[in-house]
Chain A
Amino acid sequence: MKDIAIVAYNQSKAVSDVGPCNEVELIMPVLAEVFSQAGINNAQDVDFVCSGSCDYLQGAAFAFVAGVDALGAVPPIKESHVEMDAAWALYESMLKIRMGHADSALIYGFGKSSPGELPIVLSQQLDPYYLAPLWVDTIALAAMQARMLLDQGKISERDMAEVVSRSRRNARNNPNAQLAGDVSPEDVLAQPSYVSPLRKADCPPVSDGASAMIICTVEKAKSWGVPYAVISGIDHRIESHNMGMRDLTDSVSTRLAAEGAGLGDGPVDVAELYAPFSHQEIVLTRALGLGKETNINPSGGVLAGNLMMASGLSRIGEVFNRIIAGDAGRGVAHATSGPCLQHNLVTVVEKA
């Protein structure tokens, strides 16, 4: 099987409201940056393009097609889309390369969440008969998950506050972060409840932005003559859409995906976890079996800025950046989709 390399990655700043800037305008700067990193001109220079976005955010069917305008439509390209986080667009692109249909691929994800009421928009992706008619929002579902963990003594509110504190402090070194600062766990615990038992700081901010990545075969990376890291494993698993039938205090699908991706085959220097809510970072850390030797969410994670449909791809990109910078030799990136960590993708990235 062909080894696959990451050769370029870029993310826009996560901002609370980009105003009149549209999706194409969000995407174009990150595309220009990854083309420059890989030393190529445009989407004509890769064999395949795959994007991740959510039509519900734009409020129109096939809204993602407008994003293709960022690529240029002539001459025709081979292009695909997932109505998921772009981490799954990366997965599709890897399959394309492994099947021998492409040697290189451009992946991008984008989300402009500010125009709508995001927790309510996401409620319409739930079970259409049993949950969507109630308009139960994503924050409330996460709050119920947090309370289960608290009730069962598996976490404390202080544990959650420590996750937030570390995120805010790490994010000070991330120029793309939306929320950063010297916030102590005590500062967090002093905040009033929001959707009890969650405080606002336990929840991700609503963000606008995009990210993009270029992957290719190792042979191609060498021919382009650019630094690269190797994706040594990738797997994803999903749990039931019936939250009552899941153990919400664990992430069984993350554990299975990590086994499938070969996470345990070596040390893990860095982990970037897509944990939209503070308690979920603890659930994921346990499911992945990460210990003190692993630097978790050095970017601040998505509590510092949550680009819907791009944050999963960005986790992989953050690990790639740290390996290229020489800060890490091997790392894990996690992406999630669905309520309360329903669907999880685990990617292992290693130094070439």
Chain B
Amino acid sequence: MSQPEILNQAFELGYTYTRSTGPVVGRFLTELRDRNIVGIKASDGRVVVPPMEYDPDTAEELSEFVSVGQEGEIVSWAWIKEPREAHPSEQPFAWAMIKLDGADVPMIHWVRADGESEVSTGARVRAVWADETIGFMTDINGFELV
């Protein structure tokens, strides 16, 4: 019996619209493209990084941006000894809550380290920039221990 001809058609899932990220998230992502990190002042004056559009306690619309440092301190962390395929690193790494200098609220990102014993709560880390920054969260290509 001859093999039936198999019909093939390439299909790429695409979305034919552009999503505006707005004045707060958009500002943060645009600053990332320029290799700056900005936060925003919450109602009580705390600097929140990445910036939020509304204060979670008062619901006030937030707009006062603040530049923060590219170094900070690990507030908590988890060690990934077997990275998943979707994870940003193929090597073992740490997820971490990082409080950047000048910020009052930690952000979540990942930290490169050679082993679990090198990472600790309170350790200092520095942002590593992607070779090409495009205005996306992954413009920060993880953090490294200082």
B128, CB-defined interface residue at 8 Å: no
Contact indicator B108/A243 (Cβ below 8 Å): yes
Known: A135-B87, A196-B81. 13 other contacts (CB 8 A): A117-B84, A117-B86, A129-B50, A130-B50, A131-B108, A133-B137, A143-B78, A143-B95, A144-B96, A148-B76, A196-B78, A242-B56, A243-B108
Question: CB of A260 within 8 A of chain B?
Answer: no
| B105 contacts chain A at the CB level, 8 A cutoff | yes
Per-residue 0/1 for A125-158: is the Cβ within 8 Å of any B Cβ (1 yes, 0 no)?
Answer: 0000111011111011101110110010000000
- Contact in complex: A129, B29 (CB < 8 Å): yes
Q: Interface size for chain B: under 10, 10 to 19, 20 to 34, or 35 or more residues?
A: 20 to 34
**Closest residue on chain A to residue B49 by CB atoms:** A244
Q: Quick one: which of A235-249 are within 8 Å of B by CB?
A: 239-240, 242-245, 248
A-facing mask of B79-123, CB < 8 A → 1, else 0?
A: 111001011100000011100000001111110000010000100
Residues from chain A with a CB closer than 8 A to the CB of B88 are 134-135
CB-contact partner of A133 in B42, B52, B138, under 8 A: B138
- A191-217 with Cβ < 8 A to chain B: 193, 195-198
B24 (CB) vs chain A CBs: closest residue: A129
Given A134-B138, A242-B56, are A193 and B79 neighbors across the interface (CB < 8 Å)? Answer: yes
**A170 contacts partner chain B, Cβ-Cβ < 8 Å:** no
A198 nearest CB neighbor, chain B only: B78
Q: How far is B21's CA from A248's CA once the two chains are assembled, in angstroms?
A: 28
Chain B residue nearest in CB terms to A197 = B78
Q: A129-B21, A129-B25, A134-B109 are in contact. Are A144 and B76 (CB under 8 A)?
A: yes
In the bound complex, do residue A130 and residue B56 qualify as a contact, i.e. CB atoms below 8 Å apart?
no
Given A144-B78, A147-B76, A193-B79: A130 in contact with B121 (beta carbons within 8 A) = no
Which residue of the partner chain, among A148, A196, A242, contacts B52 with CB atoms under 8 Å? Answer: A242
Cβ of B37 under 8 Å from chain A: no
Q: Specify which chain B residues have a CB less than 8 angstroms from the CB of A248 in the assembled complex.
A: 76
- Complex Cα distance, B83 from A120, in Å, reads 11
Residues of B within 8 A of A244 (CB): 48, 97, 105-108
Our pick among B84, B95, B107, B110 for the contact of A130 (Cβ within 8 Å) is B107
- Nearest CB in chain A to that of B136: its residue: A133
Chain B positions within 8 Å of A, measured between CB atoms, are 21, 25, 29, 42, 48, 50, 52, 56, 75-81, 84, 86-88, 95-97, 105-110, 116, 121, 136-138
Interface pair B95/A136, CB less than 8 Å apart: yes
Partner of B137, one of A120, A134, A143, A239: A134
Q: Mind listing 16 A-B residue pairs with CB under 8 Å?
A: A129-B25, A134-B108, A134-B110, A135-B88, A136-B110, A141-B78, A144-B77, A144-B97, A193-B79, A195-B79, A196-B78, A197-B78, A240-B56, A243-B97, A244-B107, A248-B76
Closest-by-CB residue of B relative to A194 is: B81
Chain A residues whose C-beta falls within 8 Å of the C-beta of B116 in the assembled complex = 196
State how many angstroms separate the Cβ of A154 from the closest Cβ of chain B.
13
**B105–A245 CB distance below 8 A:** yes
The answer to whether A144 and B48 touch (CB under 8 A), given A134-B88, A196-B81, is no
What residues on B are CB-neighbors of A133 within 8 Å? 136-138
Please report the C-alpha to C-alpha distance between residue A143 and residue B80 in the assembled complex, in whole angstroms: 10
With CB as the reference atom, state the residue of chain B lying closest to A241: B56
B16 to chain A, nearest CB (A): 16
Once the chains bind, are B95 and A144 in contact (CB under 8 Å)? yes
Q: Kindly provide the distance from the CB of B115 to the nearest chain A CB, expressed in whole angstroms.
A: 11
Chain B residues within 8 Å of A123, by CB: 86
- Contacts A147-B77, A244-B97 known; A120 to B84 CB distance under 8 Å? yes
A119/B76 in contact, CB under 8 A:
no
CB <8 Å contact, B138 and A196? no
How far does the Cβ of B140 sit from chain A's closest Cβ, in whole Å? 9
Contact between B80 and A140, CB atoms less than 8 A apart: yes
Complex-state Cα separation, A250 to B96, whole angstroms: 19
Indicate if the CB atoms of A195 and B80 lie closer than 8 Å.
Answer: yes
Interface pair B76/A151, CB less than 8 Å apart: yes
Task: Tell me how far the C-beta of B103 lies from the nearest C-beta in chain A, rounded to whole angstroms.
Answer: 9
Listed from nearest, the 4 A-B pairs whose CB atoms lie closest are A143-B78, A240-B56, A196-B79, A135-B86
Cα A46 to Cα B146 in complex, Å, equals 63
Whole-angstrom distance from the CB of B29 to the nearest CB of chain A? 7
With the chains together, A139 CA to B121 CA distance in Å?
18
Bound complex: CA A136 to CA B88 (Å): 9
